[in-house]
Amino acid sequence: MTTTAWYDSHADWYVTHTQEWQPTAADFLPPDLTGQAVLDLACGWGQLSRVLAERGAAVTGVDVAEQLLARARDLEQAEPAGIRYLAGNAAGTRWWDGTPFDGAVCNMALMDIDDLPGAMSAVARVLRPGGWFVFTLFHPCFPGRGDTLSSWPVDGGYGTERRWTTGRDGVRGHVGANHRMVSTYLNAALRAGLEFEEFAERDTDLPQALLVRCRRPR
Ligand SMILES: C[S@@+](CC[C@H](N)C(=O)[O-])C[C@H]1O[C@@H](n2cnc3c(N)ncnc32)[C@H](O)[C@@H]1O
């Protein structure tokens, strides 16, 4: 299946906009990843990939947006961390050399990936038995606050699952995103054969992020 590299025409804006962002998954991941082969799926310009490498992981970053990968590779060249960046569709495994990963992360990106079942199946396939998978999402139940609109399309409701743009600033204003119900995400993981381990929500007054840890059964 082909996919659209939505971020390629917004790469300069996105890199500037996210310069100060701390990857949401960072404090949900083990502080020590020494010796683990870790996949950063939909890695963007490699912010989280570099955190994973600092923690001792052998990191492979995969993304469909060549313009973001170019930024990631520039950083890798300037300050080598041993990260391998590959161009590829997260909803398939054509980029994979067949060597299983100990763990995988998809940070704030599943809502950007148009083929959710494809991405979950790909993760389940590339993990070793017992391997872990952490994903973080813009919370599908977020009802909006201040200038930030709800997760779901404003001309629809929570159950309106489709790609949409806010027409404002921010990532959904520039690039757009897919709204899906929380059950859709969780069922996609289950149908790919993954087992859930832990959930978290940030911030708890009005959560904007949902964090999930699951595992491929042994
Ligand atoms: C909001 S960004 C998050 C990037 C990165 N994970 C981070 O935390 O900075 C979403 C990313 O998903 C990538 N993406 C969207 N669809 C994809 C696909 N089918 N395959 C691979 N990457 C994809 C985009 O190119 C973009 O880099």
Q: Tens digits of per-residue pLDDT, 200-212?
A: 999 878 999 999 9
170: in domain: yes
How far is ligand 1, taken at its centre, from the CA of residue 18, in Å? 13
pLDDT of residue 2: 60
Residue 1 in any domain: the answer is no
Our mutation pick for probing the ligand 1 site, out of 39, 63, 89, counting the most ligand atoms within 8 A of Cβ, is 63
User: What pTM value is reported for the model?
Assistant: 0.96
Least Cα distance to 108 among 214, 12, 199, 25 occurs for 25
Q: How many domains does the chain have?
A: 1
pLDDT at residue 156, rounded to an integer = 95
In a domain, 81, yes or no: yes
Residue 51 backbone class (left: φ over 0; alpha: ψ -120 to 50; beta: rest): alpha
57: CATH: 3.40.50.150
Ligand 1 binding residues, C-beta < 6 A: 3, 5, 7, 23, 42-44, 47-48, 63-65, 68, 89-91, 107-109, 112-113, 171
Mutate which of 13, 39, 112 for ligand 1? The one with the most ligand atoms within 8 Å of its CB, which is 112
Q: Which atom of ligand 1 is nearest to the CA of 115?
A: 19
Nearest-atom number in ligand 1 for the CA of 7 is 25
Task: Examine the pLDDT at 20 and tell me if it is beyond 90.
Answer: no
How far is it, in rounded angstroms, from Cα 156 to Cα 215? 34
Determine the structural domain holding residue 119 and report its residue range. 6-18+28-215
Among residues of the chain, what percentage have pLDDT more than 70?
Answer: 99
Of 1, 4, 7, best ligand 1 pocket probe by most atoms within 8 Å of the beta carbon: 7
- Residue 23 in tokens: 């990857």
Q: Residue 1: what pLDDT?
A: 53
Q: Would the pLDDT of 14 be above 90?
A: no
Does residue 53 belong to any structural domain of this protein? yes
- Give the residue from 95, 120, 107 showing the smallest Cα distance to 171: 107
CA 104 to CA 98: how far, in whole Å?
15
- Which pLDDT tens digit goes with each residue over 51-108? 999 999 999 999 999 999 999 999 999 999 999 999 999 999 999 999 999 999 999 9
The 10s digit of each residue's pLDDT in 115-152 is 999 999 999 999 999 999 999 999 999 999 888 899 99
**Minimum CA distance residue for ligand 1 atom 8:** 107
Residue 61 covered by a domain: yes
Quick one: pLDDT at residue 5?
79
Q: In this structure, are strands 37-41 and 101-107 parallel, antiparallel, or unpaired?
A: parallel
**How much is the mean pLDDT over the chain?**
94
Answer whether residue 23 is part of any domain.
no
